[in-house]
Amino acid sequence: MEDLMRNIIYSSIQNFFENENDFFEYTSQTGMTEWNLTHHLCNELSKYIFWLNNELDVAKLNHDNKRPDIIFHRRQTNRFNLLVVEAKKNRRDRHSDINKIKENWMVGRLKYRFGAYINIWGIHEFEAILITRNSKEFEEVKIDGNNSKYISPMIIENQFRDNIKKVINEINNDSNHEFLESSLKKKLDNEILKVFSLEEWNIR
């Protein structure tokens, strides 16, 4: 899943460049904010992470009302907390939000499985880092064209949506634990990976 998540984030950034190629060109009366950037990034990410809900700038009440920029999860449960994203649009930013991802969102009651730091300051000018957690250790992997593949967006057939939805419903019905047990996580991962292994996906 780590490779897939890296490819999804890379592909979403490339799609942002293609679909919003004039994002940094605006009149003197307009200034683009990080909130606007996260809106467009979330739109692109959701084309791939279609099996989960997505939210922008929600307040986490048990975490001093701190607000992650983007999250992918299922509402009313922590069991499917998959991805939390902190976005920047400052070329001089020095990974200021990476510790926030680790300390606020990937531990404790939330335990997001993946974190991503995405900094976009111009068209085709970006830095992205995928954060994973192995036991108590965090790992950071830079996301770029050297280690990531582009997955062309497409409409997922309903049968694949239904298959993943079925597994999620089974997990909700069969497990009383707050977080996914490893066997259930593997079952869901396998169903997701089936979709992205199809030849119809244009991976390059």
Where do the domains of the chain lie, and which CATH numbers do they carry?
2-149 (3.90.1570)
C-alpha 149/C-alpha 42 separation (Å) is: 19
Q: Report the range out of 28-32, 94-98, 112-116, 135-139 with the highest average pLDDT.
A: 112-116
Neighbours of 57 (CB within 10 A): 14
Q: Compute the average pLDDT of residues 169-190.
A: 79
Q: pTM higher than 0.75, yes or no?
A: yes
How far apart (Å, rounded) are the C-alpha atoms in residues 128 and 62?
A: 28
Residue 158 confidence class, pLDDT cut points 50, 70, 90 = low
The neighbouring-strand residues paired with 70 are 56, 85
> What's the CA gap between 193 and 3, in Å, rounded?
10
- Name which of 28-37, 65-74, 135-144 the model is least confident about: 28-37
pLDDT given for residue 31 in this prediction: 77
Residue 148 CB neighbours (<10 A): 22
203, pLDDT greater than 60: no
Asked if pLDDT for residue 186 goes beyond 60, the answer is yes
Residue 176 has what pLDDT? 67
Instruction: Return the pLDDT at 20.
Output: 92
Condensed to tens digits (0 to 9), the pLDDT of residues 55-106 reads 998 877 677 788 999 999 999 888 899 999 999 999 999 898 999 999 999 9
72-76, 121-125, 195-199: range with lowest mean pLDDT = 195-199
Measured from the Cβ of residue 8, the count of other Cβ atoms closer than 10 Å reads: 24
Q: Is the dihedral of CA 68, 12, 76, 99 positive or negative?
A: negative
The per-residue pLDDT for 61 is 66
* Exposure of 85 in the CB half-sphere (CA atoms within 13 A): 32
| pLDDT classification of 116: cutoffs 50, 70, 90 | very high
